[in-house]
Amino acid sequence: MPTLILLLEGQSISFELTTDETVVGRHPECGFQINSNMVSRKHAKVTKVGERYSIEDMGSGNGTFVNSEKLEVPTLLEHQDRIKLGPIILRFEDPIGVTSRLSGSTPKTSQSLQATATVQVDVIEGDEDSATIMGTADHSTAFGKLEVNSEAKLKGVLEISRALAGTSDLDAILPKILDTLFKIFPHADRGCVLLMESSTGKMIPKAMKHRRQNDDETVKLSRTILHTVLEKKVGVLSADAANDSRFQASESIANLTIRSMMCVPLLSLGGEPMGIINIDTQNAFNQFRPDDLDLLTAIAGQAAMSYEQAKLVITAMEKQKQDKEMDIAMGVQRSLLPITIPQPDGWEIYASYDSAQAVGGDYYDAFEMENGKKICLAFGDVAGKGVPASLVMSRISTVVTNVMTFVNDIGEAINRINNQMCLRGIEGRFVTFILIVFDVKSGVMTIGNAGHMPIMIRKNDGTIEEFGDEAVGVPIGVLEGFPYDVLKRTIAPGESCVIYTDGVSEAMNYKSELYGVERLRQLMKASVGGDADSLGKTILADVRKFAGGRPQNDDITIMVFGRK
Residues of the chain with pLDDT under 70: 8-11, 95-158, 161-169, 212-220, 239-259, 284-285, 425-428, 528-530
- b/e map of 29-40 (b: 16 or more CB within 10 Å)? ebbbebebeebb
Contact 404, 446 (CB under 8 A): no
What pLDDT is stored for residue 164 in this prediction?
A: 66
- Output phi, psi for 520, to 5 deg: -65, -40
Q: What is the DSSP letter of 508?
A: B
Contacts 24+ apart (CB under 8 A), 463-467: 463/525, 464/521, 464/524, 464/525, 467/497
Mean pLDDT for the chain overall: 81
Contact 557, 529 (CB under 8 A): no
What pLDDT is stored for residue 410 in this prediction?
A: 93
- Output phi, psi for 528, to 5 deg: -60, 135
What pLDDT is stored for residue 143 in this prediction?
A: 47
Report helix, strand or coil for 96. coil
With CA atoms as reference, report the closest residue to 354 among 338, 325, 334, 368.
Answer: 334
Instruction: Mention every residue, 6+ apart, whose C-beta is less than 8 A from residue 271.
Output: 142, 233
What pLDDT is stored for residue 462 in this prediction?
A: 85
What pLDDT is stored for residue 6 in this prediction?
A: 86
What pLDDT is stored for residue 118 in this prediction?
A: 47
What whole-number distance in Å separates Cα of residue 19 and Cα of residue 307?
50
Report helix, strand or coil for 548. coil
What whole-number distance in Å separates Cα of residue 241 and Cα of residue 141?
30
Amino acid in the structure at residue 143: F
Amino acid in the structure at residue 112: S
Contact 125, 110 (CB under 8 A): yes
- Output phi, psi for 54, to 5 deg: -120, 160
Contact 237, 137 (CB under 8 A): yes
Dihedral over alpha carbons 268, 126, 137, 173 (to 10 degrees): -40
What whole-number distance in Å separates Cα of residue 94 and Cα of residue 53?
9
What whole-number distance in Å separates Cα of residue 16 and Cα of residue 39?
20
Contact 156, 183 (CB under 8 A): no
Other beta carbons within 10 Å of 270: 7
What pLDDT is stored for residue 387 in this prediction?
A: 84
- Output phi, psi for 181, to 5 deg: -65, -35
Report helix, strand or coil for 15. strand
What whole-number distance in Å separates Cα of residue 192 and Cα of residue 474?
62
Output the pTM of the full model: 0.54
From residue 193, how far is each of 92, 115, 125, 231, 404 by CA, in Å? Answer: 26, 12, 19, 17, 63
What pLDDT is stored for residue 376 in this prediction?
A: 95
What pLDDT is stored for residue 115 in this prediction?
A: 36
